[in-house]
Amino acid sequence: MNSMNRAGRALLVATTLVALAAAVPALAAEPARSGPPLWELGGAVFGVSQQAYPGADEHLNRALVLPYFIYRGRVLRADRETAGLRAFKTERYELDVGVAGSFGGGDDEIKARQGMRELGTLVELGPRLKIRLGEGGGHAGSWRLDLPVRGVFDLNDSGRHRGMAFEPELLFQRQAKGGWRYSTGLSAIVADRRLAEHFYGVSALDARPGRAAYAAQSGLVAWRLSVSATRALGRDWRIFGFARLDSVAGAANEASPLVRQTTGSTVGLGLTYTWMRSEASAHD
């Protein structure tokens, strides 16, 4: 990862932790009968092999060791899915502020972008409506529809706004009898023209043989299928893994010269340790 200012590094730590937890829905789950604790303090170590961007034919490999802090208040929350505030929650609906993120890389790592501006580490932040669609008893699992709208910011460029993204996602979550918790999701990523240009636009100055100038357009960026799983290893340790498959088939910018293949994958594996936790239970 390229160098960034101190504020950018601090923000990256916080947002990466929340984004990681969002990718692994049961990461911070506590098996105590009274429910998860109000707060937890611990650390996480994980490695990720990420497709550079949807349509890229190269991967970015990252390994991180980070502290994490989780707080599950009634309104103020920083947990596996929420970053900041939960505006309201009913039996069926919930509105909160969600976060996601992706690592960036320079033209030395992404050959298709040689000579072009680097793709910075991006953080997505914005409101999200969650709709519970149904829940079975025991280990049957539950269905949910997420409707997030997020602003996208580039940590490698002083937090510059790169555009807006909308990613409706249908989720299925289940806790298996063997102690495993897992989730699967199917989503569509839609971007405005500004964000699409960041990924797929090629200016006249950046054009070269095999990479013609291209003006990106708003619309579908990719279809995404994701899976994740986590399991407690005793009281304080937890292992987790996640994978996703992105496809740009039928996407608005499938014709961009920066699109080198139709499908691509991202995988990650990690371990968390909870150092301290509160005696009080969380507010749900």
> Comparing C-alpha atoms, which of 92, 126, 129 is closest to residue 195?
126
What is the residue extent of each domain of the chain? 6-277
Q: So what's the pLDDT on residue 35?
A: 72
| Residue carrying structure tokens 């939960």 | 86
Question: What mean pLDDT do residues 153-157 have?
Answer: 92
Q: Choose among 50, 104, 55, 103: nearest CA to 243.
A: 50
| SS3 (DSSP) at 247 | strand
Does the pTM surpass 0.85? The reply is no
Cα separation, 130 vs 70, in Å, equals 20
Smallest CA-to-CA distance from 283 within 97, 17, 90, 36 is with 36
Beta bridge partners of 84: 77
Average pLDDT (130-148) is 84
Residue 258 or residue 141, greater confidence? 258
Mean pLDDT for the chain overall: 85
Q: How many CA atoms lie within 13 A of 177 on its CB side?
A: 3
CATH tag, 6-277: 2.40.230
- The rounded distance, in Å, linking the Cα atoms of 162 and 125 is 12
CB 202 within 8 A of CB 257: yes
User: pLDDT tens for residues 83-130?
Assistant: 667 778 888 999 988 888 888 888 789 999 999 999 999 999 999 999
Q: How many other CB atoms sit within 10 Å of the CB of residue 56? A: 24
Distance CA 70, CA 80 (A): 8
Tokens 């699992």 — which residue? 141
Q: What sign does the CA torsion over 47, 156, 4, 78 have?
A: negative
At residue 175, the pLDDT reads: 85
135 vs 191: which has the higher pLDDT: 191
Does position 203 have pLDDT exceeding 90, yes or no? yes
